[in-house]
């Protein structure tokens, strides 16, 4: 299901983000930028050593990436030229600022995309796997954050995709699209 916000196409797709034909894909990373499982493991396997090399450099320079922030590396062997690594919050029941931090992940990733002249970007469902954020709530936070940023900014990518791995997650994002727009 698709939606247009100003000049941006917002697309909900079920699939594997490592296959995305976009300029940049977003990774659900950890603040140490050390390879994990989930989408992080899949992206690193598909992208190869260039991703870990660039993450190691960021670790040396900046110590990693705080929750709610984002950093950018090359995409290595991926079709995507870049990977934007963002660190979602671990779900602790909802009263520890999780929604603000999750919204910040999407906004910071889009800001980095604009800075790097990225025209098309794909997001996974950040925090809803190993980090335990309830998917229905995360989907509303994600789409609200993207909508706000696109409406506020003069420059944004022409295409923003959400690539959701499983059918249940895809269904939550389609529902959220109808709620938020």
> Which of 98, 165, 176, 180: binder of ligand APR (CB under 6 A)?
165
Under DSSP, the state recorded for 99 is H
Q: Which of 87, 36, 33 is nearest to 60 (CA)?
A: 33
- Cα dihedral value 88, 91, 93, 97, nearest 10: -20
Binding status of residue 129 toward ligand APR by CB under 6 A? yes
Binding status of residue 131 toward ligand APR by CB under 6 A? yes
In the complex, the smallest distance separating the C-beta of residue 158 from ligand APR, rounded to whole angstroms, is 21
Residues 50-79 as x/- pattern, contact with ligand APR by CB under 6 A: ------------------------------
In the complex, the smallest distance separating the C-beta of residue 33 from ligand APR, rounded to whole angstroms, is 9
Q: Which of 72, 60, 61, 62 is nearest to 29 (CA)?
A: 72
In the block, tokens 């994600």 appear at 142
Stretch that binds ligand APR, among 5-13, 76-84, 123-131, 170-178 (CB under 6 A): 123-131
Q: How far apart are the first and last CA of the chain?
A: 13
Say how far apart CA 159 and CA 171 lie, in whole Å.
20
Binding status of residue 171 toward ligand APR by CB under 6 A? no
Which residue ranges make up the site for ligand APR (CB under 6 A)? 16-18, 28-30, 36-42, 88, 124-131, 163, 165-166, 169
């Amino acid at each position: 299901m698709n939606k247009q916000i100003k000049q941006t196409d917002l697309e909900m797709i079920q699939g594997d983000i490592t296959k995305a034909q976009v300029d940049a894909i977003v990774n659900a990373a950890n603040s140490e930028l050390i390879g994990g499982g989930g989408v992080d493991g899949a992206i690193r396997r598909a992208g190869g050593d260039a991703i870990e090399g660039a993450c190691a450099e960021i670790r040396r320079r900046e110590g990693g990436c705080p929750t709610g922030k984002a950093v950018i590396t090359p995409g290595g062997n991926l079709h995507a030229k870049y990977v934007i690594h963002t660190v979602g919050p671990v779900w602790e029941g909802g009263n520890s600022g999780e929604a603000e931090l999750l919204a910040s992940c999407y906004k910071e990733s889009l800001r980095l995309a604009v800075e790097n002249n990225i025209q098309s970007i794909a997001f996974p469902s950040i925090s809803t796997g190993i980090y335990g954020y309830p998917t229905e709530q995360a989907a509303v936070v994600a789409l609200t954050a993207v909508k706000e940023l696109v409406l506020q900014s003069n420059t944004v990518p022409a295409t923003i995709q959400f690539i959701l791995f499983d059918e249940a997650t895809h269904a939550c994002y389609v529902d959220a699209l109808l709620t938020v727009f």
